[in-house]
Structure 1
Amino acid sequence: MKASFLATAALAALAVAGLAQAASATTIGVTMDKFDDNFLTSVRNAITDETKAKGISIQVEDANDDTGKQISQIQNFIAQKVDAIIVNPVDTSATPKMTQLAVAAKIPLVYVNRKPEDKQLPPGVAFVGSDEKVSGTLEAEELVKCLGGKGNIVIMEGQLSNNAALDRTADVEAVVAKNPGIKVVEKQTAEWDRNKAIDLMNNWITTGDKINGVAANNDEMAVGAILALKQAGQDPKSMCIGGIDATADGLAEVQNGNLYVTVFQNAKGQGKGAVDTALSLIKGDKVPSFVDVPFEKVTKENYKNYMNK
């Protein structure tokens, strides 16, 4: 009896070791648009945490906002014969080429956070992210409330090569179109960047029309607008300012009363979802082409619920 028990225990231990070895043998290549973006850093950290928890090897590369470099990174992953590739695209118009490369190599591909522009994703390819048509709408509806239905607003756009920037701006404009008392007086890209947003807002303050509100495509640019107003000796609280992402800095500005609204985009949910989807594709499971991680509106009333998210 004792010998039988020991044999069974030994077999179990071998099975566990085998599973652990199989997990560690799985490698995922990850290429991110850029490392120095607060929100994308949260996505990347979530990917790293999830793969570490599952005992999976990853190789994470910074594309430095360079599409050519990102395509080269994908080609390197393919040459290394990784088991799956996760891509946060620099330029969403370049995703058909990326999809073609992965499909030809028969390697599962997961786009995360930024929706690919492929007309249709083939089997073995999926997108994990949030429906951008919701984000700008939630932001703009709150700004309309803040403005009382009248006033001039400016729109700070992300990179125009990115579908998220285009969708978020279109959403804001659609809401404004339903509110004739509100007018978009300026619209320009600050490329998701805080410092560029500071420069852009400074320019609008000194040369533009009277501004009552700012609809920024992300929190980084909204924070840039707030800093520019402070530098100009203006109180950000006197203006209706909105952002998207609910980053730590964005939430701090909501707490301070400088940011009227932001929209929670679940970075951890996207990062974890990208890893889980990649593993499902590796196993050959059927997965939807779009794995939705919903947006949520964040204001002074509920921001505390998001401080640890």
Structure 2
Amino acid sequence: MHFLSLLLASSLAASSASSGAEATPAASGKTLTIAFMRPGPDPYYQDGQNGAVMAAPSLGAKVVTYFSNNSQSQELANVEDAISKKVDGILMYAVSLSAESADVAKANAAHVPIFLLYGYDKSLVSKVAGFEQVNLIEYGKAVGTWLTKHLTEGKVAIITGLLGRGDAEAYAEGFKTGLANNPQLTVVAQVPGDWNRQKAQHAAQDLITGHPDLKALYVENEDMAIGAILALKRAGKLSQVMVVSCNGAPYGLEAIANGEIQASNTCSPALEAVMGLRILTGVIGHTTEPGHLYYSLTVFVTKENVKDANPWVPDQSGIEKFLSLPLLQPVADSDLP
């Protein structure tokens, strides 16, 4: 029988005997060791890692951390190292879809449950403890739809994140779907910024040089948006070009509050990681069914409601709040993308 099938059978049996409360391994006196792997230096991944580290003791776990430097080979080596050190589970952001397939195969062979933050792949669902990510298309679509209500016509450009894992591609697809509600808005360029502020700044410089009458920029995260804003300021075009984004980073929320970013669809990496860790430890403890996709909690913000965004860098009381939230519910099989 497949390893995840064994976990599923055990989880169902445990669930039928439980009272419905979320159990933790701490109840059995065992401290779990969870490997947390982040692919690159983006603050999003670092804050996700910090959230998991802070929440772990409350879930009867400790976290050991790995960094893959956006290298598939380094990521696989990290998975192998974690397995060799007999971790109880792996919680990770994969570098790419092709990389995560190899990661999952290694973890399955070693009977180590693995939970993926982003990089959803339907063919892998039955082989993992779970996937968690925002509803990618809808996440970008909300930004595009908002823009159609606040800009009547003009040229729009997109600066994407690092392509290859599926999320950057889907954000752009969703944004363009939302933007289609106003045929007077035209996407004239789509260029990569690789989740990097400096690369996004250079990309924005090129975009406004090539399209001096540009009216809006959709930048797929706020770290890149800050770079794009710097380029717009230097070109004297910040008042001409609307900037919309995603994520809700602390510096992004500041830019929204002061009017440099007009809107952003936000999610907290710390909250995502805490939810992922709760689900993973539940799978390990046979109280949560493995093999599901979960959609992250999101908050769409503008200057008027910027304080509603969930924090990226919570204090311990914030972590306790995240731990007290209802556990995410899995996406129904019939609704899987």
TM-score, L = length of structure 1: 0.87
Change (3 A) 1:94 1:118: farther
Does residue 23 of the first structure (1) align with residue 30 of the second (2)? yes
Amino acid at match of 2:182: N
Query: Which whole-Å CA distance do the structure 2 matches of 1:283 and 1:19 have between them?
Result: 10
Does residue 57 of the first structure (1) align with residue 59 of the second (2)? no
* Secondary structure of residue in 1 paired with 2:294: strand
* Contact 1:124–1:281 (CA under 8 A) maintained in structure 2: no
For 1:238, the equivalent position in structure 2 comes to 240
For 2:120, the equivalent position in structure 1 comes to 116
| One of 89, 92, 109 as aligned partner of 1:87 | 92
Unpaired runs of at least 5, structure 1: 1-17
Change (3 A) 1:77 1:261: same
Give me the identity figure in percent: 22
Query: Which whole-Å CA distance do the structure 2 matches of 1:272 and 1:52 have between them?
Result: 11
Does residue 282 of the first structure (1) align with residue 284 of the second (2)? yes
| One of 109, 130, 133 as aligned partner of 1:129 | 133
Counting matched residue pairs gives 287
Query: Which whole-Å CA distance do the structure 1 matches of 2:52 and 2:207 have between them?
Result: 38
Segments of 4+ moved more than 4 angstroms: 18-21
Q: CA deviation at 1:308?
A: 4.5
Change (3 A) 1:308 1:131: closer
* Contact 2:125–2:293 (CA under 8 A) maintained in structure 1: no
What do you get for the CA RMSD once the two structures are aligned?
A: 1.9
Q: CA deviation at 1:307?
A: 7.1
Change (3 A) 1:198 1:107: same
Structure ranking higher on relative contact order (CA contacts 8 Å, 6+ apart): 2
* Secondary structure of residue in 2 paired with 1:147: coil
Q: Which moved more, 1:188-197 or 1:298-307?
A: 298-307
Amino acid at match of 2:151: L
| One of 260, 276, 283 as aligned partner of 1:258 | 260
TM-score, L = length of structure 2: 0.80
Does residue 271 of the first structure (1) align with residue 273 of the second (2)? yes
Change (3 A) 1:19 1:133: closer
Matches within 5 A, 1:49-198: 49-112=54-117, 114-148=118-152, 150-198=153-201
* Secondary structure of residue in 2 paired with 1:301: helix
Of structures 1 and 2, the larger Rg is shown by: 1
Q: Which moved more, 1:254-263 or 1:236-245?
A: 236-245
Q: CA deviation at 1:123?
A: 5.0
Does residue 223 of the first structure (1) align with residue 229 of the second (2)? no
* Contact 1:237–1:257 (CA under 8 A) maintained in structure 2: no
Change (3 A) 1:308 1:168: closer
Q: CA deviation at 1:304?
A: 1.8
* Contact 2:52–2:63 (CA under 8 A) maintained in structure 1: no
Query: Which whole-Å CA distance do the structure 2 matches of 1:28 and 1:308 have between them?
Result: 23
Unpaired runs of at least 5, structure 2: 1-24, 313-337
* Secondary structure of residue in 2 paired with 1:227: helix
